[in-house]
A and B are shown apart, each in its own frame.
Chain A
Amino acid sequence: MISVFQQHWQELLTGLGNTILCSVIALFFSLVIGSTFAIFEVLPSKFLRIIGRIYIEVFRNIPLLVIGMFFYVVVPQYVLPMDGFTAGTIGLTLYTSSFIAETVRAGIQAVDSGQMEGARANGLSFMQAMWHIVLPQAFKYVIPPLGNQFINLVKNSSVLAFVAGFDLMYQGDMIASATFDTFNTYIAVGVLYLIITLPLSYYMRYLEKKLA
């Protein structure tokens, strides 16, 4: 396994970089989009609630690979051209955001309804109350499940390998097929994924302890 690192560190490093880049972009946007749709789901407006429901159910119930391939081969043909990295990252963002939306919604609903009522009674608008009173408490509740989603996101970024996105898994495939040393290559790739996900999971646990 050491020899795989020695001979192919450049490819592996590129892969690691792309995996991290994709994960960071997808994490940011899926958190933003997911939280938005979570708020949609608890809004008084029935129309927006239905929009939120449809979005979540569509992207939560289609396999990630299908969403990724859709953006890689269908969208460029009819809408606008995009490369594998972009397509995979968009797919991953949409897919993860639906799960994050469900998680955050559960958090919002776990906050006592008296909090919202109290804030509104004190003259805050719905959005102000949501932003300053409800969401901070909601996020505290959902840190453990959110951490799960983040780790899943990093692992799911391997979908890039199927759309030629030059991520860690793609580079692993390249090295394995060039050296025929599948065993050691995939072990090396696994170790590199661990290097990303283990600190992440420890950080989430730390946050959980600190904020709880």
Chain B
Amino acid sequence: MKRLRKLLLALSIFILGGLLCACSSSKSQSTWSEDKADNTITWGVKADTRLFGLMDVKTGQIKGFDIDVAKAVTKKILGPNGKAKFVQVTSKTRIPLLKNGNIDAIIATMTITPDREKIVDFSKVYFAAGQSLLVKKGSNIKSVKDLNKTGTTVLAVKGSTSAVNIKKSAPKAKILELEDYAQAFTALKSGQGQALTTDNGILFGIASENPGYQVVGGTFTNEPYGIAVNQGQTELKNKINKALAEMRKDGTYQKLLQKWFGNVAGFNLKEASQQ
């Protein structure tokens, strides 16, 4: 009995500690003034997503559309000497990392959703994606309707909107969520699911490297990508919005879009550049 009481005590201390920490206030410094001081903006970017942000294992650098947009925005905001620092994030880690101040802004294929807007601030849309499906060539899944059967397994990535959308449009399908796109695609290859779902841009990136797979069914949701900053960092957000608008005006944006998506078969550039 005495031992049990000790055990309960240990447990309650642990719980109490958690409650106390949760109540501590978050800091409210201006990210923008810090960035201006050290002439660097730290961006959270994906490193596993072809076309948007992919680690080039030979050079150790991350390359992609998100990276180029981030670099261009940094130059517009801080001037030609401004530095852009990149930190790898996944769908799961990006919001916590932004919240605890490890990164200043997220540009990582992140859809603007009402839920997310409650905890972070989004810039204007910089890429208009839509959710789609990737399947093995010759698969009998042609659109999202074919998924709505028991026994169908759909693969998605943790922390993305894709899983939530599938739950709505195909409630009977089972959803497995994996760590990142590389892992989710490996799981698709090894038959853990019949379809991989996420935004079309990402799927086209995977399909372009893997000829045995194709994107089907068109887009069945609108996924406007935005750049996220922590709540209350209005100054930084406004600077980013201004930079994005300038980029669209002077053609930098269109050039980048053409560079990354111009050669992707079946991809609609006009649709993606909608505001």
Contact = CB atoms under 8 A, between A and B. Distances in A.
Decide whether A and B are members of one complex: yes
Contacts of A188: 18
Contacts of A170: 177
Contact of A177 (B21, B119, B158): B158
Contacts of A81: 191
Given A73-B190, A177-B159, A184 B22 contact: yes
A191 B91 contact: no
Contacts of A190: 14
Interface residues of A, number: 31
B236 to A, nearest CB: 20
Nearest to A199: B7
Interface string A1-31: 1100000000000000000000000000000
A84 B176 contact: yes
Contacts of A195: 11
Interface in A41-68: none
Nearest to B6: A202
B3 A76 contact: no
Contacts of B238: none
Nearest to A190: B14
Nearest to B17: A187
Interface in A72-111: 72-74, 76-77, 81, 83-84
B22 A183 contact: yes
Nearest to A187: B18
A202 B191 contact: no
Q: State which size class the interface on B falls in.
A: 20 to 34
A123 to B, nearest CB: 45
A116 interface: no
Contact of A164 (B119, B176, B190): B176
A189 to B, nearest CB: 11
Contact of A162 (B14, B179, B189): B179
A83 B176 CA distance: 10
Interface in B144-192: 158-159, 164, 176-179, 183, 186-187, 189-192
A170 B15 CA distance: 21
A198 interface: yes
A174 B7 contact: no
Contacts of A73: 186-187, 189-190, 192
A176 B189 CA distance: 28
A195 B7 CA distance: 10
A164 B178 contact: yes
B14 A76 contact: no
B179 A72 contact: no
A74 B18 contact: no
B7 A202 contact: yes
Interface of A: 1-2, 72-74, 76-77, 81, 83-84, 162, 164, 170, 173-174, 176-178, 180, 182-184, 187-188, 190-191, 194-195, 198-199, 202
23 contacts: A1-B18, A72-B187, A72-B192, A76-B190, A76-B192, A84-B176, A164-B176, A164-B177, A164-B187, A174-B158, A177-B158, A177-B159, A180-B96, A180-B99, A183-B21, A183-B22, A187-B22, A190-B14, A198-B7, A198-B10, A198-B11, A199-B7, A202-B7
List 3 A-B pairs, minimum CB-CB distance, nearest first.
A177-B159, A187-B18, A164-B176
